[in-house]
Structure 1
């Protein structure tokens, strides 16, 4: 954020210097507008409306800057001043029409456009800016076909009046581009470059066409050509950044590199332009792409001081979760989800809110938020893993098992650990029922053991080599299938306990393994005592159980029974 602050100060300084020293011509102001240096341009134009107060053009271009910054009321005020200076100012009537069009007042827009054309005579500039106006009210970031057709029609009339007006040619290229008529668009951009080979805007526009054709190398060539013409031409860096993001989304092999490059390109763009709230919001998008969460949280906090745009709260939610600042995340998430238009809320918002809630101990709310994300977008399968983890931590094992089951079924990122989590959840859901002290006591659902064993078996089948911990839980799950009366043992758990002993012995028994080894040998002791009636084997296994864990109750019980039996004889 220090860098952004320094940039901001630099831009403001340049704006003041520009307005007092360099703002001697309208051409300088128009170049600043083209380079998206709007504050600088406004300083120049405000000066010109005072020093050259009889020139209606100065008022039009000042109003145009207000249009570009989405201050239509201020724009109308300036355009009307231009008309007061020259009642026949076609440009300022054009401006009034564009302001109305942007504000979705089509009737007023048409009235003013018609007045502008009636006053334009053979001047092509009003046609150029009416055409640009038709492209300035997109819906979901797309210009409607009707508006694009209207732009093309009026721009072709302007072109007929003056085929060398580069503003007309550039706007016509842009209009064709919105309709994906790239051949026509390129033709107009090339025509503009033939008239003015130093037209950086035409190079950038050509690069944008190549971007949407996924010809990213050609895009970069055009942006580099624009910067060769003007190294400080900010829009080239902006479009280069947007191209890098598209490239990253298209080619996963270069995604990491291109996202980082995009963020750097956008930083350069900001350093060369005005640090408008809109530009900084887009910069925040790049920080999300690149995962620079620390910078994003700082930038979003600064934006919150100067902007009421609720999207800032989304950035604070995401970055605060990633930076483990959960109180800030909860506050931002609550503001965003409660106040934002429902159409603007996306499943990812609920994912982050759910994470913030779970991390803050609000598990039920967090799980609900994650479920909402999954409901809104069925591709959000990964949230089920988070749901399962949260429910498992709260000992809601059956719900956790079902969440893991859903995750495994829907996600492409599953690992054997996820199967282990599923198996353990089903196993513990069964043991909860089995050992329940509730009245009436529930009947433990034996199908849960089958589901647990299925998950464990899958792991052992897919793992490079059998896993001791899985063998242990397979043994435990099968032990529950044994009759309560040990004299009726079937030996369901025997191969698994034997496998566990073999695997642990092979790697070397550690301190943490000893109680489990004792458990395994104790089971085998019971098996040989009651199922096989083999006292020697039983004694051997119970002895090993006692060696590994002198406090093992099964072994102690065995030796106590044997001692009492000997006394009885």
Structure 2
């Protein structure tokens, strides 16, 4: 009997060690972003030992990280029924409360999680700190306060130091984040994520070459640590975007490293979705279309695939596939529609209505713009995507349609293209009306174009050509007083730049335009003034026929 009892206890101890090792392996897989592997390990632990509350909690966290909230909650609730470490699951429920902005509920759950903590326990504080960091409504200050409780008990706890580093990083406290990550790696040299985060800080500071060196140091320690290749990919992407001369090489480096990252994680549908997101980021639409079609062959249920296929098909010129795919995604009420979905749908409709000569059918253009406006309602800064399209229309002298797109951008002061869009809107309206006879001009649009140039002068007071265009617009509106005022302002601003500027042929031509327009405006009310300005034109351009004939007529 005694031998049997000892043997039984040995079996229990052995099972406990095995479970501990499995949990450790699962956590290692999570850190490596091998989420499918982690879920499989954790489900095996729970099946073998339903009383393991920590396995339920960690599995719930994996699902929550993947935004599968219902599954996360199921495992947290299952974990509360366990006999071992069930209190951790209150932390999971607490994070769900934080995500729902139910701070009182979160405090209650965190209180239940820590109620029976022993004096030297720290894991609860680390997990609660993580909950504050990972919540969709993060509270980095409270996270730091909570994690300091863990560090007060174990100053060299590597996980606590890593977590507080993440909290400082989230709060844009780079100095304390750097120290915490460095200390975490010193405390545990196998904690590669802490070492990697030092490179992430350099990437955030736009020290891209130094960041890459730092990431390569991680690779030297473990060439199979997948997340570092994702960080490398993002660094090369940002470097290429910020320095156009390096764009081609760095974008390819970004793609290569992201593919390496994927090869070291898992080829689950979720990882392929992340891959698709990255291909959109680096604008690799040919590969995106291939990836999207493969995902559809594997999983016809996940609707996000239709978004990817729609984007890629549009960029690759397959507008019918683009329109159908995006509409298939948008029409499902449970799908989370973003501004870019409507933007691509709008662009696809416009492209479908564009003939071989580049002329857009008005009905197709209006239908596309209606979707683009929906995109802007959801994400105001998608207006930044309209500038190139507007300039292409402007280059084809489709001024009214160009003005429609530029007006959308000119309505958003936060857009990086705000000033450009104001200018292009104003000149598009001007050129769209310049050739029209009196009575057929769009007076309302011309008035808005003049206001646009007023806004240009607020945003950029030195943009003197705004006065020139305001003069031209008022010429079309036949407002003599404003013609004189704006052209005179243009002449005064330009003259103040000195003789070198006035000697430029392009500038001289505009000054002649100004003098002729002012002269014409005075012709019916003050002939002497009119002759004076026409003579100023002739002083610059003696062969100017309009000025010469006007002087002759006025005398």
TM-score (norm 1): 0.60
Residues 319 and 348 in structure 2, CA contact (< 8 A), matched pair in contact too: no
**Residue 309 of structure 2, aligned match among 316, 323, 328:** 316
Residues 24 and 48 in structure 1, CA contact (< 8 A), matched pair in contact too: no
Distance between the aligned counterparts of 1:174 and 1:60, measured in 2? Answer: 21
Partner in structure 1 of residue 214 of structure 2: 222
In the alignment, structure 1 residue 206 sits paired with structure 2 residue 206: no
**Residue 380 of structure 1, aligned match among 353, 366, 386:** 386
Partner in structure 2 of residue 79 of structure 1: 76
Residues 390 and 403 in structure 2, CA contact (< 8 A), matched pair in contact too: no
Partner in structure 2 of residue 482 of structure 1: none
> Measured at CA, do residues 119 and 66 of structure 1 come closer, stay the same or move farther in structure 2, by a change above 3 Å?
farther
Partner in structure 2 of residue 533 of structure 1: none
SS in structure 1 at match of 2:197:
helix
> Measured at CA, do residues 250 and 241 of structure 1 come closer, stay the same or move farther in structure 2, by a change above 3 Å?
same
> Measured at CA, do residues 184 and 81 of structure 1 come closer, stay the same or move farther in structure 2, by a change above 3 Å?
same
Partner in structure 2 of residue 258 of structure 1: 250
> Measured at CA, do residues 88 and 367 of structure 1 come closer, stay the same or move farther in structure 2, by a change above 3 Å?
closer
Per-residue deviation, 1:210:
0.8
SS in structure 2 at match of 1:25:
helix
> Measured at CA, do residues 363 and 75 of structure 1 come closer, stay the same or move farther in structure 2, by a change above 3 Å?
same
Partner in structure 2 of residue 245 of structure 1: 237
- 1:468-518 residue CA offsets vs partner (Å, 9 max, x unmatched): xxxxxxxxxxxxxxxxxxxxxxxxxxxxxxxxxxxxxxxxxxxxxxxxxxx
Residues 289 and 309 in structure 2, CA contact (< 8 A), matched pair in contact too: yes
Per-residue deviation, 1:149:
0.9
Residues 91 and 126 in structure 1, CA contact (< 8 A), matched pair in contact too: yes
Partner in structure 2 of residue 565 of structure 1: none
> Measured at CA, do residues 200 and 137 of structure 1 come closer, stay the same or move farther in structure 2, by a change above 3 Å?
same
- 1:19-75 residue CA offsets vs partner (Å, 9 max, x unmatched): xx9995322121111111111112222222244454433333233222222233333
Distance between the aligned counterparts of 1:356 and 1:404, measured in 2? Answer: 14
Partner in structure 2 of residue 233 of structure 1: 225
Residues 384 and 404 in structure 1, CA contact (< 8 A), matched pair in contact too: yes
Per-residue deviation, 1:153:
0.9
Per-residue deviation, 1:91:
2.1
Distance between the aligned counterparts of 1:301 and 1:267, measured in 2? Answer: 18
**Residue 325 of structure 1, aligned match among 318, 326, 341:** 318
Per-residue deviation, 1:128:
0.8
Distance between the aligned counterparts of 1:56 and 1:405, measured in 2? Answer: 57
In the alignment, structure 1 residue 349 sits paired with structure 2 residue 355: no
- Of 366-375 and 350-359, deviating more is 366-375
Structure 1 residue runs of 5 or longer lacking an equivalent are 1-20, 393-397, 434-446, 452-460, 463-569
Residues 90 and 120 in structure 1, CA contact (< 8 A), matched pair in contact too: no
Partner in structure 1 of residue 41 of structure 2: 44
> Measured at CA, do residues 232 and 426 of structure 1 come closer, stay the same or move farther in structure 2, by a change above 3 Å?
same
In the alignment, structure 1 residue 299 sits paired with structure 2 residue 305: no
Matches within 5 A, 1:389-404: 399=400
Residues 300 and 315 in structure 1, CA contact (< 8 A), matched pair in contact too: yes
Partner in structure 2 of residue 284 of structure 1: 276
Q: Relative CO higher for 1 or 2, CA cutoff 8 Å, sep ≥ 6?
A: 1
- 1:419-473 residue CA offsets vs partner (Å, 9 max, x unmatched): 9xx999988x89xx9xxxxxxxxxxxxx9xx99xxxxxxxxx99xxxxxxxxxxx
Residues 164 and 195 in structure 1, CA contact (< 8 A), matched pair in contact too: yes
> Measured at CA, do residues 49 and 282 of structure 1 come closer, stay the same or move farther in structure 2, by a change above 3 Å?
closer
- Of 107-116 and 367-376, deviating more is 367-376
Residues 387 and 406 in structure 2, CA contact (< 8 A), matched pair in contact too: no
**Residue 179 of structure 1, aligned match among 166, 171, 174:** 171
Distance between the aligned counterparts of 2:121 and 2:75, measured in 1? Answer: 21
**Residue 273 of structure 1, aligned match among 237, 240, 265:** 265
Distance between the aligned counterparts of 2:293 and 2:44, measured in 1? Answer: 34
Partner in structure 1 of residue 86 of structure 2: 89
In the alignment, structure 1 residue 138 sits paired with structure 2 residue 130: no
Residues 389 and 400 in structure 1, CA contact (< 8 A), matched pair in contact too: no
TM-score (norm 2): 0.61
> Measured at CA, do residues 307 and 217 of structure 1 come closer, stay the same or move farther in structure 2, by a change above 3 Å?
farther
Partner in structure 2 of residue 456 of structure 1: none
Per-residue deviation, 1:347:
8.0
> Measured at CA, do residues 304 and 150 of structure 1 come closer, stay the same or move farther in structure 2, by a change above 3 Å?
farther
Cα RMSD between the aligned structures? 4.1
Per-residue deviation, 1:324:
2.0
SS in structure 2 at match of 1:299:
helix
> Measured at CA, do residues 101 and 364 of structure 1 come closer, stay the same or move farther in structure 2, by a change above 3 Å?
same
Partner in structure 1 of residue 32 of structure 2: 35
**Residue 159 of structure 2, aligned match among 153, 167, 171:** 167
SS in structure 1 at match of 2:116:
helix
SS in structure 1 at match of 2:134:
coil
Per-residue deviation, 1:158:
1.1
Residues 393 and 402 in structure 2, CA contact (< 8 A), matched pair in contact too: no
**Residue 125 of structure 1, aligned match among 123, 126, 133:** 123
Distance between the aligned counterparts of 1:65 and 1:399, measured in 2? Answer: 52
SS in structure 2 at match of 1:331:
helix
Distance between the aligned counterparts of 1:113 and 1:210, measured in 2? Answer: 34
Residues 57 and 82 in structure 1, CA contact (< 8 A), matched pair in contact too: yes
- 1:126-171 residue CA offsets vs partner (Å, 9 max, x unmatched): 11111111122236xxx4xxx1111111111111121222221111
Residues 51 and 81 in structure 2, CA contact (< 8 A), matched pair in contact too: no
